[in-house]
Amino acid sequence: MEQVLSALTEAACLDSGAVRKVFTLSRQPVTSLPQFFATEDVFFVYGNERFSQEDFELEFEESKAIQQYKKVPGLRNGAGPKPKMPKKELNRTYESNENLLAKLSKDNTALPAILRQKFNIGDMIGDGNFAIVRLCVDKSTNEEYALKIIDKSKCKGKEDMIENEVRILRRLCHPHVMKLVEEQDTKNMLYLVCEYVRGGDLFDAITVAQKFSEDQAALMITHLTSALAYLHNLNIVHRDVKPENLLVDMDGDRVKILKLGDFGLACEVNEPLYTVCGTPTYVAPEILAESGYGLKIDVWAAGVILYILLCGYPPFVSQDNDQEKLFDCILRGQYDFPYEYWHEVSDLAKELIFNMLQLAPEVRFSAEDVLDHPWLQYAACS
């Protein structure tokens, strides 16, 4: 213990001289060596000066700085059976249906003349309980788009959600956000011409690949968090970031390009929100605690996705599919990096996940913080 105090004296260089007292962040005096290797990560050192209880009340910037030095959950041996991905959440627009939209799925004459003049309307590529999606091609450019046809009569009680989604999409223009090209509103139908992304969604890509290399995961997380940073700068929170809502495109070199879609739950944030929404696997703890939440719930969800990309399963799981147990794990931030699946993953990647999955929103990374992290910076240069 005397040797440790001597080393601390040399490192701290206190004005009062030698280090004589050490306390944990929880105000407990440190009197033996094992205390340095227990659960505490942060310590206060004093010489002869008196200490105050106010010393242990950290300001925001101090708290945020400390989080970067706290211990990342360690590699754990004896992982047991590998957890599985949750079942795919069916998108609101891609559930089976039988309704009057059937006519619009085949009969082009029922479509607005302005759309028929500009586009060649092709086959149906998706259908839902209040909408269908058809492929269309711009006659002048041969560019492919997705034509979403929404039956207003089937949207009773959901009008605000649809109007909100369209209103937000009108404002957005970003390479990693699905683009709304144009819209036509009629008495009974709403027609949305959107960017067409041919490669399916990220959930399907994960199902096929199981997991991705660090370079691939870093590129995809860069795409996602650049979209989130753009949204957050507009004070827009997505509220349903998950692999099913990330569309996968390919560039000329077959490199995956992610585009964020489905803005049905998105909204502007001017004060804390309290509506419980989202998808269980990706929901942030402050939503479950109903303590008020904001933009950083999207970063939490992106952290869950990054974890999945690198190992093939989510950080928070319930082996018996008990949702209450899952929520309890999320509320306690209970996850680790089992050795069997994580020993080849870099410490930098795990440290980024750790900072994206901070329980306290005030010390959790922002989307901009994620983009500035060395792991993504290194991947961008490699």
Span 122-153, pLDDT tens digits = 999 887 667 889 999 999 999 999 999 988 88
Active-site residue set: 240
Residue 159 in tokens: 């009008």
DSSP assignment letter at 319: T
Residue 228: CA count within 13 A, CB half-sphere: 30
CATH code of the domain occupying 75-87+200-381: 1.10.510.10
Phi-psi region of 124 (alpha: psi -120 to 50; beta: other; left: phi over 0): beta
Domain with CATH 3.10.20.230 in the chain: 2-57
**CA-to-CA separations, 240 to 11, 84, 100, 262, 287, in angstroms, rounded:** 46, 21, 29, 8, 12
pLDDT of amino acid 220? 96
Write down how long the chain is.
382
Span 30-45, pLDDT tens digits = 988 888 877 777 888 9
pLDDT for 91 beyond 60: no
Helices and strands (H, E) in the chain, number of each type: 14, 13
Cβ contacts of residue 100 below 8 Å, gap of 6+?
Answer: 151, 153
148 carries a ligand binding annotation: yes
Give the fold, CATH level 3, of 2-57.
Ubiquitin-like (UB roll) (3.10.20)
pLDDT for 96 beyond 50: no
Helix (H, G, I), strand (E, B) or coil at 14: strand
pLDDT of amino acid 226? 98
pLDDT for 363 beyond 60: yes
pLDDT of amino acid 259? 96
One-letter amino acid identity for 8?
L
pLDDT of amino acid 265? 92
Taking Cα atoms as reference points, which of 240, 250, 245 lies closest to residue 204? 245
d(CA 314, CA 335): 9
Cα 84 from chain centroid?
A: 19
Cβ contacts of residue 12 below 8 Å, gap of 6+?
Answer: 19, 45
Give the fold, CATH level 3, of 101-195.
Phosphorylase Kinase; domain 1 (3.30.200)
pLDDT of amino acid 106? 61
CB 341 within 8 A of CB 315: no
Mean pLDDT over 271-286 rounds to: 95
Angle of helix 297-311 versus helix 214-233 axis, rounded to 10: 170
pLDDT for 206 beyond 50: yes
pLDDT of amino acid 244? 93
**Mean of the per-residue pLDDT values for the chain?**
87
pLDDT of amino acid 34? 85
Domain with CATH 3.30.200.20 in the chain: 101-195
